[in-house]
């Protein structure tokens, strides 16, 4: 018996020893250094192997070793390395190079249908059950890490005068991404820890950023960046039909219209957290479409999405971006009371690889990692709790390493630890500081000159027109370094032909930031032009600058005083009340009938008005930039602006009593695969009898450039109304047409269509107030107005994204074609081709 026991024991020890060959390692991208999750790893010619986890790590045991180990994953070149024989444990790391992203060539369909279709069909049908947006509420803690790097540094750039000054001091500290030794130089690294909250009805979100750690080239005050680095800007939900990324929208592999956008291949069934899941490879039906290629994993029991590893290739109709990769793991959370379950994102990793702008420049990498924990669902908080949507906690800056060691889900890699010291080295290089300052001036238009005081904007420094001749302007503004509550600005301008000094001054005091409330006052004296006032042009600074050039028709000097108070009473509801006094001093022959007596004419006037405004913007997201807040728009909700002005006669010298109403509604919406539409509806009405400069002059555009907020085939001051309604509509088909044309699809052109319609008119009383002649017998020009029964209509169509920068549009004027010139003798054009240039992805 002892002999048998000994034999069995020896046999067992032999089996155990045979099974103790453990191979482990990490799989990373050779270009970016980022981990590659869910890759297949195995021994060549054997059955032992496994898959990498979310951080690219793998480990498996084998009873018998072969001579090599391989790694395979869609979108990368297959890689093989030798295995050392006889070792009980060994570590083998791989750096994979990007390769083909095509589906497998061999496809076997059961009963004539792709077997993956049934799974996708069931997953789409179950979306409403698993989509976390359908919960009453959810919240979690979130750790976010962001990194921006410079990569693809060409030898020519490194050897150039700029490259030497940048890369020379970093030779000893370069961060190496892979076996090929390509350097990656980090320029920004941040970490944040926050609490994220969402409520469905009403739909509200909030992120409270508790702690941040930021270092980067050109970063002076981290308060603005601290609001961008949290999880609020890293929300990726593949249960939605369209995912917004970089202000573009990509169709989900489980969107309602999945079959027309993707091809699918059913792979293996693998275990994820001890649950069997279908592995499905997806690829766009057209490479230029804004769609994903990669893998998704769907639970075999309830068809919930468990994991995604998707990327966007460089063939997609998007500029400057070589690839975008998104990996996400989801975890199930259950409501203990209702037993409702939902799958929420546990970990998300995003990588954006930006191309070199020129052959001899550099590329950029943007990396985002989000880890969520401590989920709670169906416990909504009071609606007031969610305001503001992004909030910085007191003492939010945290640099102590021991705090972050406790918060991080995993410790920093050696490369990330090196990144912190690299960034400090880069930003202290003199030429980097100089270029950072130049880029800041280009972006902001201002240059810091002394403790919180900035000079600019430089775009408005000079102009030339028929009234002023050469116009020079110098201005300034203050920033948060000057004061946290006071914001001051001003300018001086001088025309060398009219020899008149112009000026402007503005002061704002921030009463409260939570909720936002401010009070302000301003004064100015400057040259204006009928139909091209600052109020009409709006915030289009380039068009405003252009309008200062050339011939001034019906120019006038205006002196203005204004004071106001604005406050957000509740989230999305911001009223304003102010009082304004303006003078009108025309530089052309102008008069109006005073008090209905033709013998009593006036050539100038003053008006005082009480202004009330209500802005309604549901779910609008703001970030706070020093002493200002910047709107990032609303989530699928229109923005309404209602304004009422009351003219006050005999108050502060006002000459008129009047009422004036305006209403604006602006929004955009997705039209499925057809693209996105943008529209603005506006209306105005004044029942009072007033000189025409106080009515509604419609903004025309006589330039060669397309202007979005103007009627582009209408001349300056061609039409004026005392009541009107207008629609400005533009639809961008994106790559819908050109993506399907083999000869030109690589140009990434995009088609667009727009329609502008204006109804309006002026009552006879407002015509009669302008006499034909003044008291000396000189003719007085009137104004043109629309026929209330005939709208002004123009339509345009064109091509966007030419050379990734230009837009060319052909515009037809369809109505009011009978008169060859306007009332001022300016020729009317029926057709024009206009261009514009802007940065777009």
Place of tokens 């990656």: 184
Q: Is 164 or 739 the better-scoring residue by pLDDT? A: 739
Query: Looking at the structure, do residues 425 and 291 belong to the same domain, yes or no?
Result: yes
| pLDDT higher than 60, residue 296 | yes
CATH of the domain at 18: 2.60.40.1120
What pLDDT score does 260 carry?
A: 87
The pLDDT mean for the chain works out to 85
- Helix pair 414-427, 430-444: axis angle to 10 deg: 80
Q: What angle do CA 327, 310, 342 make, to 5 degrees?
A: 55
Q: How confident is the model at residue 178 (pLDDT cuts 50, 70, 90)?
A: very low
Residues 1-10 have pLDDT tens digits of 455 555 554 5
Query: Looking at the structure, do residues 71 and 185 belong to the same domain, yes or no?
Result: no
| pLDDT higher than 90, residue 354 | no
| pLDDT higher than 70, residue 726 | yes
What pLDDT score does 180 carry?
A: 47
Overall domain count for the chain: 3
What pLDDT score does 830 carry?
A: 93
Considering the domain boundaries, does residue 748 fall inside one?
yes
Q: How confident is the model at residue 381 (pLDDT cuts 50, 70, 90)?
A: very high
Q: How confident is the model at residue 161 (pLDDT cuts 50, 70, 90)?
A: low
Q: Pick the last residue of a domain from 402, 436, 470.
A: 436
Q: How far, rounded to the nearest angstrom, does the alpha carbon of residue 123 sit from its chain's CA centroid? A: 30
Burial class (CB in 10 A: 0-12, 13-18, 19+), 249: middle
3-state SS class at 407? helix
**Lowest-confidence segment of 78-82, 659-663, 809-813 by average pLDDT:** 78-82
Considering the domain boundaries, does residue 628 fall inside one?
no
Going by C-beta distance under 8 Å and a sequence separation of 6 or more, which residues neighbour residue 456?
441, 444, 445, 446, 447, 475, 476, 477
Q: Pick the last residue of a domain from 414, 436, 458.
A: 436
Query: Looking at the structure, do residues 144 and 10 belong to the same domain, yes or no?
Result: no
Cis amide bond preceding 202, omega within 30: yes
**Lowest-confidence segment of 166-175, 323-332, 560-569, 812-821 by average pLDDT:** 166-175
| pLDDT higher than 60, residue 788 | yes
Q: Within 10 Å of residue 807's Cβ, how many Cβ atoms?
A: 19
What pLDDT score does 805 carry?
A: 82
Considering the domain boundaries, does residue 393 fall inside one?
yes
Q: Which domain holds residue 133?
A: 115-436
Q: Is 839 or 36 the better-scoring residue by pLDDT? A: 36
Considering the domain boundaries, does residue 384 fall inside one?
yes
Question: What is the value of pTM for the model shown?
Answer: 0.81
What pLDDT score does 295 carry?
A: 92
3-state SS class at 545? helix
Strand partners, 459: none
Helix (H) or strand (E) holding 546: helix 541-546
| pLDDT higher than 70, residue 174 | no
Considering the domain boundaries, does residue 618 fall inside one?
no
Which DSSP letter does residue 698 get?
Answer: P
Q: What is the full DSSP assignment across 195-236?
A: EEEEETTTTEEEEEEEEEEEEETT-S-THHHHHHSSGGG---
Q: What is the full DSSP assignment across 549-585?
A: SB--SSEEEEEEEEEEEEE-SBTTEEEEEEEEEEEEE
Query: Looking at the structure, do residues 128 and 48 belong to the same domain, yes or no?
Result: no
Structure token pair of residue 599: 């013998």
Closest CA to 679 of 701, 707, 709, 715: 709
Considering the domain boundaries, does residue 576 fall inside one?
no
Query: Looking at the structure, do residues 149 and 26 belong to the same domain, yes or no?
Result: no
Query: Looking at the structure, do residues 57 and 140 belong to the same domain, yes or no?
Result: no
**Lowest-confidence segment of 15-19, 31-35, 288-292 by average pLDDT:** 15-19
What is the average pLDDT across 198-210?
90
What pLDDT score does 107 carry?
A: 54
**Lowest-confidence segment of 234-238, 376-380, 414-418, 578-582 by average pLDDT:** 414-418
Inter-CA distances, 802 with 675, 741, 749, 839, Å: 18, 16, 6, 11
Residues 38-78 have pLDDT tens digits of 888 988 877 788 888 888 888 888 888 888 898 988 778 88
Place of tokens 């000094």: 501
What is the average pLDDT across 793-808?
90
What pLDDT score does 1 carry?
A: 45
| pLDDT higher than 60, residue 749 | yes
**Lowest-confidence segment of 319-328, 533-542, 568-577, 793-802 by average pLDDT:** 533-542
CB 750, CB 798: distance < 8 Å = no
Q: Pick the last residue of a domain from 413, 436, 459.
A: 436
Structure token pair of residue 142: 């979130």
Q: How confident is the model at residue 265 (pLDDT cuts 50, 70, 90)?
A: very high
Inter-CA distances, 797 with 126, 750, 794, Å: 41, 11, 11
Query: Looking at the structure, do residues 379 and 412 belong to the same domain, yes or no?
Result: yes
Inter-CA distances, 553 with 538, 540, 716, Å: 20, 21, 9
Query: Looking at the structure, do residues 693 and 828 belong to the same domain, yes or no?
Result: yes
Q: How confident is the model at residue 228 (pLDDT cuts 50, 70, 90)?
A: confident
Query: Looking at the structure, do residues 741 and 816 belong to the same domain, yes or no?
Result: yes
Structure token pair of residue 564: 């106001």
Closest CA to 434 of 41, 93, 166: 166
Cα-only R_g, the chain: 32
Q: Report the distance separating Cα 481 and Cα 392, nearest Å.
A: 19
Q: How confident is the model at residue 16 (pLDDT cuts 50, 70, 90)?
A: very low
Helix (H) or strand (E) holding 431: helix 430-444
Residues 443-471 have pLDDT tens digits of 677 888 888 899 988 888 999 999 999 99
Closest CA to 478 of 504, 456, 452: 452
Considering the domain boundaries, does residue 556 fall inside one?
no
Summarize the chain as % helix, strand, coil (round to 5): 15, 45, 35
Q: Report the distance separating Cα 708 and Cα 836, nearest Å.
A: 10
The 3-class secondary structure across 575-588, one letter per residue, is EEEEEEEEEEEECC
Query: Looking at the structure, do residues 81 and 139 belong to the same domain, yes or no?
Result: no
Q: Report the distance separating Cα 401 and Cα 417, nearest Å.
A: 11
Query: Looking at the structure, do residues 18 and 61 belong to the same domain, yes or no?
Result: yes
Q: Report the distance separating Cα 111 and Cα 442, nearest Å.
A: 62
Residues 82-122 have pLDDT tens digits of 888 878 888 898 888 877 554 444 455 555 788 999 999 99
Query: Looking at the structure, do residues 688 and 735 belong to the same domain, yes or no?
Result: yes
Considering the domain boundaries, does residue 781 fall inside one?
yes
């Amino acid at each position: 018996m002892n002999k048998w026991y000994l034999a069995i024991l020896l046999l067992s020890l032999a089996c155990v020893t045979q099974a103790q060959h453990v191979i482990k390692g990490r799989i990373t991208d050779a270009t970016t250094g980022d981990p590659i999750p869910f890759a297949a790893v195995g021994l060549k010619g054997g059955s032992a192997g496994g898959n990498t986890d979310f951080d690219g790590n793998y480990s498996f045991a084998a009873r018998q070793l072969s001579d090599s180990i391989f790694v395979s994953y869609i979108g990368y070149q297959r890689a093989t390395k030798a295995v050392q024989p006889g070792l009980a444990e060994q570590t083998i790391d791989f750096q994979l190079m990007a390769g083909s992203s095509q589906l497998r060539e061999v496809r076997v369909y059961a009963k004539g249908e792709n077997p993956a279709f049934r799974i996708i069909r069931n997953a789409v049908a179950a979306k409403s059950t698993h989509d976390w947006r359908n919960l009453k509420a959810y919240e979690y803690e979130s750790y976010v890490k962001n990194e921006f790097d410079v990569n693809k540094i060409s030898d020519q750039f490194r050897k150039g005068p700029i490259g030497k000054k940048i890369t020379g001091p970093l030779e000893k500290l370069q961060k190496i991404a892979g076996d090929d030794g390509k350097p990656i130089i980090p320029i920004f690294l941040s970490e944040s820890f926050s609490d994220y909250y969402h409520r469905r009805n009403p739909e509200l979100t909030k992120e409270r950023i508790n702690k941040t750690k930021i270092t980067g080239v050109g970063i002076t005050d981290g308060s603005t960046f601290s609001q961008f680095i949290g999880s609020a800007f890293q929300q990726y939900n593949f249960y939605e039909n369209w995912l917004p990324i970089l202000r573009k929208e990509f169709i989900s592999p489980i969107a309602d219209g999945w079959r027309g956008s993707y091809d699918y291949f059913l792979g293996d069934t693998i275990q994820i957290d001890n649950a069997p899941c279908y592995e499905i490879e997806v690829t766009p039906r057209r490479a230029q479409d804004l769609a994903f290629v990669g893998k998704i994993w769907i639970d075999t029991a309830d068809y919930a999405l468990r994991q995604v590893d998707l990327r966007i290739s460089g063939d997609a109709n998007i500029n400057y971006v070589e690839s975008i990769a998104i990996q996400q793991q989801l975890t199930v959370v259950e409501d203990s009371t209702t037993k409702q379950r939902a799958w929420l994102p546990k970990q998300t990793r995003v990588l954006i690889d930006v191309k070199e702008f020129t052959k001899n420049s550099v590329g950029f990498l943007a990396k985002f990692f989000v880890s969520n924990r401590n989920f709670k669902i169906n416990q909504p908080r009071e609606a007031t709790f969610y305001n503001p949507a992004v909030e910085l906690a007191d003492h939010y800056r945290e640099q102590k390493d021991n705090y972050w060691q406790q918060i991080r889900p995993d410790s920093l890699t050696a490369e990330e630890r090196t990144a912190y010291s690299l960034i400090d080295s880069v930003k202290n290089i003199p030429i980097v500081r100089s270029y950072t300052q130049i880029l800041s001036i280009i972006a902001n238009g201002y240059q810091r000159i002394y403790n919180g005081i900035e000079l600019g904007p430089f775009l408005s420094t000079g102009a030339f027109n028929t009234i002023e001749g050469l116009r020079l302007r110098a201005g300034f503004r203050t920033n948060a370094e000057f004061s946290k509550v006071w914001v001051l600005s001003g300018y001086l301008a001088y025309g060398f032909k009219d020899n008149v000094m112009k000026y402007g001054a503005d002061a704002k005091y921030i009463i409260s930031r939570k909720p936002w409330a401010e009070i302000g006052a301003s004064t100015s004296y400057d040259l204006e032009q009928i139909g091209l006032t600052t109020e009409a042009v709006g915030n289009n600074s380039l068009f405003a600058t252009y309008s200062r050039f050339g011939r001034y028709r019906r120019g006038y000097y205006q002196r203005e005083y204004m004071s106001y108070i604005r406050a957000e009473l509740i989230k999305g509801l911001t009223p304003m009340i102010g009082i304004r006094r303006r003078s009108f001093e025309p530089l052309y022959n102008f008069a109006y009938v005073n008090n209905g007596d033709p013998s009593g004419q006036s050539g100038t006037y003053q008006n005082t008005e009480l202004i009330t405004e209500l802005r309604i913007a549901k779910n609008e997201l703001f970030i706070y930039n020093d002493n200002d807040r910047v709107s990032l728009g609303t989530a699928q909700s229109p923005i309404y602006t209602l304004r009422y002005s009351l003219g006050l006669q005999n108050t502060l010298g006002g000459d008129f009593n009047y009422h004036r109403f305006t209403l604006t509604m602006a929004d955009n919406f997705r039209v499925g695969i057809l693209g996105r539409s943008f529209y603005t509806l506006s209306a105005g009405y004044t029942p009072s009898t007033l000189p025409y400069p106080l009515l509604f002059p419609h903004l025309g555009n006589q330039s060669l450039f397309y202007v979005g907020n103007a009627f582009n085939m209408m001349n300056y001051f061609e039409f004026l109304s005392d009541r009107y309604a207008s629609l400005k509509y533009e639809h961008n088909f994106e790559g819908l047409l050109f993506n399907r044309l083999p000869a030109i699809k690589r140009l990434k052109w995009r088609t667009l269509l727009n329609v502008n319609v204006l109804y309006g008119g002026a009552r006879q009383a407002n015509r009669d107030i302008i006499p034909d002649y003044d008291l000396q017998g000189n003719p007085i020009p009137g104004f043109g107005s629309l026929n209330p029964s005939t709208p002004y209509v123009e339509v345009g169509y064109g091509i966007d994204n030419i050379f990734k920068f230009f837009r060319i549009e052909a515009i037809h004027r369809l109505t009011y074609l009978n008169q060859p010139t306007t009332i001022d003798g300016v020729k009317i054009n029926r057709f024009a081709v206009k261009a514009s240039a802007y940065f777009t992805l």
